[in-house]
Structure formats: C-alpha cells, structure tokens
Amino acid sequence: MAFEQELDIYLRSRFTLMILVTPEEERALQSVKQVCEGFALRERTQRSCLSWDVADGFSAVTNWRGSIPSAKDPLSALEQVDKAEGDSLFVLKDFHDCWTNPQIKRKLRSVAQRLKFSKKSILITAPSGKIPVELKDEAVILEYPLPQNEELETVLQRLTQTLSCSQSQIRRTGIFSHQ
C-alpha cells in the first residue's frame, strides 16, 4: 500500500497520534499535503494542515482557515493544537527531541487522548521509530518509503534540464572560454 493511502486511512479512522519515520521531511510533507488536499476534494470538506518546528513555529502546509497560531516552544505548540478547531492535521517536526521532557511527554499524551473526540490528528516526524514507552499505546508508527525509480527518474530529468540550461548560459557568457 502506498504511503498516501495508508496515511489517508489512518486519518479517516481518526488516529490521533502518528509517528512518521523519515530522514526526508520535505518530501514527506509533500505527500502529507497531497493527502490533505485529496481528502478535501473527495469529502468536500477541508482538512487543513499546519507544520510546526522549534525554529519557525507554525506554518501552513495547506489552506488554513483563520490566523495561524503562534507557538515557539513545544508545550505552547501542543496547547495550540488542543485549542484548534475543525478537521486538522498538525505535523510536528523534530518533536522526538522532547521525548525526555516529562511535562511535554505528559501533555502530548493528554492532547492525543482528547483529540479522539475531535477531527484533529498529530503527525510527528522523526528519524527513528523509537518512542517512549508511555506513548506506545497512543501512537501508530508509519515508515516513509524511499523514492521509487519513477520518482528518481523525474528528479534526475529536472536536474539534467537545469544543468543543461546552466551550461548553455555559461557558454554564451564566455566566462570559461579559452582566450
């Protein structure tokens, strides 16, 4: 099963806490965006998506109704997730760095339990599937797959086109021509 289908099933089943194991945050975030936008088209209702990290706070992944919440620390981010309304997915980047903080770990558990009565979910990106024992019953672990051949070919073609264009521009300028 493709990652996008798997994530869509978990979201429609109202799983509230998911850990996405991946070293490729940006590529994974594009897949998450596709799932949220696909849901909106299929269900004729909007599933908004915000991402959060400790450096930049919240930012919109898909169309977000209303103002984007402000939170610079993990505890505030969880409080904003708890307060948010509507059908939403919150992608928390680097949140695995907080696993050792008992206050944040407890807040995450509490919020995940309360979200069961809402249409909100949390997706934490992490480099490994190691999670605290306290969260094992609350979370499902998803593995983001490596790119398939077709995806690699597309990237390679784009790169080749970009390099070809750049090389022809360099030749025209004569910067590297022998005089």
Written as six digits, the tokens of 135 are: 């969260």
pLDDT at 13 over 50: yes
pLDDT on residue 65:
80
Alpha carbons within 13 angstroms on the beta-carbon side of residue 178 total 0
pTM of this structure: 0.81
Residue 43: pLDDT band (50, 70, 90) is low
Average pLDDT, integer, range 134-147: 90
Average pLDDT, integer, range 39-48: 65
Integer Cα distance of 100 and 156 in angstroms: 40
123 sits in the region (left: phi over 0; alpha: psi -120 to 50; else beta) called: beta
Type of residue found at 120: K
Contact 75, 114 (CB under 8 A): no
